[in-house]
Structure 1
Amino acid sequence: MDNTPPRPQSLVWTLLEAYCARRDLKLTRLDDYGHSGLVENPAGQRRFFRGTHFDLNPLGASEIADDKAASLKLFQSDGLIIPEGVVLSGKNASNSAIQFSERVGFPVFLKPNTGQEGQDVERLETPEQLKTACTRLLQRHRLLLLQKAIPGEDFRVLVLKDEVLGVIKRSAPIGTGDGVNSLKTMIEQLDAGLLADPRCAACLASQNLSLDCVPEKGQVIALLSNANLSSGGKGHLLDGPTPLTIKDAAIRAANSLGLRYAGVDMIVKADGQPILLEINAAPGLARFAAQGPSDRAVAAQFYERVFDAFTVSFRQ
């Protein structure tokens, strides 16, 4: 008898399993977790997926989407607005970073030129912070992208076949003091992983706070400067019709790369102007779905549409 505990299944697998059962499609997983697999119709035609990558987008375009500088350059050439930025590498990276930042002004955002889920994305306020961050990140990444920080609201826009599925407003993780517990205790209760994230320490330091501080009751404390859900941020589905400026910019960005399915990240300024940050050819919804039952239901509705597009050619 096999006493091995069942392995947790991905959100995509769980939803796709139910979807295929309703439509007489065979679903085969190629690993223990359902991270990769294939869907097959009764005629033997197959469609493949891996993680949140589906047989929807061209391979070359998906690869370029993962190159932030390259995709932003394309967006700019197609008339979309992007933040001012510079690619950094090699021994002179810190000097180039300082020169750029002194010209455009602090704060700035430094991030790996490739990668997802907000990993190693840092908001920097001073030349000293920038030099230290450059040295640290270049030990793990060959190319970095440095961008001027743009004030505004942070959005992830999901696009499927020239249509906006939904708009998720993202906010950076915060904590609220109770007048009793220290910041360390508060963070442990919210997300203990933040304690090991150097960006959290830097964010607290910028507010002249330490982990031993006891915030006053009702005092709101910023815990990170970036709003990615994978870093502890929160996502809120935008109610009502999508503003035309946001809708147009997102669809144009997806079409610029020829992506049928994409997550477009943007900052929307106070005057409503969208500034394109990056595009993701395999946007995931697991973090959003984990926020609660209502958000999981929304994620399930979105994935239903994606699965329809993914399998439509061999369900007809």
Structure 2
Amino acid sequence: MSNQHEWIPNLAESVPIAARKNQTSLYLIALEGYRRGLQLTFYSQFIREQLHLRYSLSNGDKTHHFQGSCGDHVTPEAMEICEDKSWTYQHLEKANVPYPKGKYFTKDHPDQSIIDFAEQMNAPYVFKPADGQGGKGVMVNIKTIAQLKKEIDYVRNTLKYSNVILEEYVPGEEVRIFVLENQVLAAANRQPASVIGDGVHTIKTLIEQKNEFRKSIPHLYFRPIKFDRDLKDYLTELDLTLHSIPKADERVFLRKISNVSRGGDPIDITDQLTDRQKQIAIQAVQSVPGLPHCGVDMILEGDSGKVIELNTKPGIGSHVFPVEGKNRNIPKHIIDYYFPETANENIRAHATEYFDFNHIQESVRERTTETIVIPAYQKLLYQETIHLAGHTDLQEMYNWLKKKVISMNIHGTIEKINENEYKLLLASSSNKEIEYVKQLIKDSNKYKVSVKDEVSTNNPVMLGFHLIDEVESLTNQELIKELEQVEKQVNVTDKEINRLNKRIKLTENSFSWKVTNIFRKVLKVK
């Protein structure tokens, strides 16, 4: 698996926690523009009665607006086409781009009409929402009509997707290809969620360990493998349960679909694509007018393939931070495209400064301000990591230091390493300010800490002065969702405990347990 040092050096640790939940693409592109000296502005926009975070970049002469990874060169008409899978397929058909054959069903079509069409096709099938996102509700490799009926009921009645698509199942690798200006820039094979056995731990424990690893990757931080119905049903098909123990080095797949949002692993395969596969992806994007860049989902078949979806706002994290393979600097290419005059800004190629995102999300989404303009980029030439030894109240010391460092235009972080040790990162355009702060700490009688170690560093630095704490970095909405997930996990655990207690009571009340009671007492004495 890939390590952080194999990723783009000035991006690997420059994504704050607040930007890792569905906003990684937005943040990476905004950060690239900011580091090039472009004016970065965030604002909110109501679309279909929902509030969305938007941003713009400007060089003074021109301004471009973005939503996620989608810039304003992508027309509204192109976005509308790509959001409707049936409409997308119509454009692919006209351009002779291969895609899975099937049919679109609206909410006015009864379930029986889907069954009737399926009986005219050859199994297996794929059944999915026409307007779904993140792989939710996508049911693949459906082999029987009975199974199809079950999935129709689940997607339409449980998930509430009325407009659906039934199409042929195409076996093969599913990949996400990023195309910009008729050029394939990246391709990632999204391997379905899986774990590798060690001969000791259960599948449940292996999933928990895998989820900890995913938290080390920015765009996977909030995309754990979930213990949901689909996962458990698939394990049942494999004659496995969450309590099964896979053999050492045995890979166990947990889902049929490979979407990253459903626990899939992104693996870079850009250099493995054939010329034919690249051409199909490019032709697919060309088939939609007003679509200069796009994410193309394709099933690879030999040296060819079939397009299954076009995404105008594709997540680029899989290309920038693949679990395996070479990283691809998509943010750089996007800013090069919209602001070609900044393409040779090599002076900022290794910039480490990045901006806070938690405050931006809170302010814009809660409507406390209409726009937030990020201060102009500034290079912090001097950095030091300082280890403090002693005993003090971290929050109190942070508040004291914050007043000092902000007044001197110093940026950095402070965090607790262990019971009596703290790490302080300071960065400034002048080394004198850093030396002054260190002396303040040494001379302070209020806090019982001392400077233990000083090391010149070149770490990513968030502008401002921050107390490192995952909870502090989350918005209120994210905290509520995190709490809901914890409560769900607690409920699952409580149910499991109750189930085991019932089993224990049933066993204790059984005839065989009572008969062998004397032997257990003897063994216990021994």
Q: How high is the TM-score relative to the length of structure 2?
A: 0.53
Q: 1:38 to 1:164 in 2, by over 3 A?
A: same
Identify the match of residue 57 of structure 2 among 39, 43, 51.
Answer: 39
Counterpart selection for 2:168 from 132, 137, 148: 148
Q: What displacement does 1:178 show?
A: 2.2
Residues 33 and 335 of structure 2 are in contact (CA less than 8 Å); yes or no, is this contact kept in structure 1?
Answer: no
TM superposition shift of 1:145: 1.1
Say how many residue pairs are matched: 303
Amino acid at match of 2:39: K
Question: Residue 221 of structure 1: SS of its match in structure 2?
Answer: strand
- Alignment of structure 1 residues 108-127 onto 2, 5 Å: 108-123=125-140, 124-127=142-145
For the pair shown, the structure with the greater C-alpha radius of gyration is 2
Distance 2:338 2:101 in 1: 36
State which of 331, 348, 351 in structure 2 corresponds to 1:303. Answer: 331
Residue number in structure 1 paired with 2:146 = 128
Structure 1: 5+ residue stretches without partners: 1-5
- Partner residue in 2 for 1:263: 295
Higher relative contact order (CA closer than 8 Å, sequence separation 6+): 1
Task: Report the Cα offset of residue 64 of structure 1.
Answer: 0.7
Aligned match for 1:86, one of 100, 103, 110: 103
Cα 1:59–1:231 change in 2 (3 A) is same
Assess, with a 3 A threshold, how the Cα gap between structure 1 residues 159 and 255 changes in structure 2: closer, same or farther.
Answer: same
Per the TM alignment, residue 72 of structure 1 is displaced from its structure 2 partner at its CA by 1.0
CA–CA distance in structure 2, aligned partners of residues 171 and 90 of structure 1: 32
| 5+ long unaligned stretches in structure 2 | 1-15, 45-51, 213-223, 344-526
CA distance in 2, matches of 1:291, 1:167: 10
CA gap of 1:195–1:117, structure 2 versus 1, over 3 A, is closer
Partner of 2:200: 180
* Deviation at residue 186 of structure 1 after TM alignment: 2.1
1:17/1:262 Cα in 2 relative to 1: closer, same or farther (>3 Å)? closer
Moved more, 136-145 or 6-15: 6-15
* Higher mean C-alpha deviation, range 233-242 or range 48-57: 233-242
> Using a 3 Å threshold, how does the CA distance of structure 1 residues 283 and 99 change in structure 2: closer, same or farther?
same
Determine the C-alpha separation between the residues in 1 that align with 2:111 and 2:198.
41
Residue number in structure 2 paired with 1:8 = 18
Cα distance in 1, alignment partners of residues 274 and 172 from structure 2: 15
Distance 1:21 1:314, change over 3 A: closer
Greater Cα shift, 93-102 or 222-231:
93-102
Instruction: Report 1:185-196 matches (<5 A).
Output: 185-191=205-211, 193-196=224-227
Shift of 1:92: 5.2
SS of aligned partner of 2:271: coil
Q: Is the contact made by 2:29 and 2:334 (CA closer than 8 Å) also made in structure 1?
A: no
Give the TM-score normalised by the residue count of structure 1.
Answer: 0.85
- Out of 40, 60, 71, the residue aligned to residue 27 of structure 1 is 40
What is the one-letter code of the residue matched to 1:265? D
Q: How far apart, CA to CA, are the structure 2 residues paired with 1:13 and 1:81?
A: 31
Q: Structure 2 vs 1, CA of residues 132 and 191 (structure 1 numbering), >3 Å: closer, same or farther?
A: farther
Distance 1:222 1:102, change over 3 A: farther
Percent of residue pairs bearing the same amino acid type: 26
Q: Which has the higher mean CA deviation after the structures are superposed, 105-114 or 70-79? A: 105-114
Structure 2 residue corresponding to 1:167, chosen from 184, 187, 204: 187
Match of 2:279? 248
Secondary structure of residue in 2 paired with 1:154: strand
- Worse-superposed segment, 153-162 or 116-125: 116-125
Aligned-residue Cα RMSD (Å) equals: 2.7
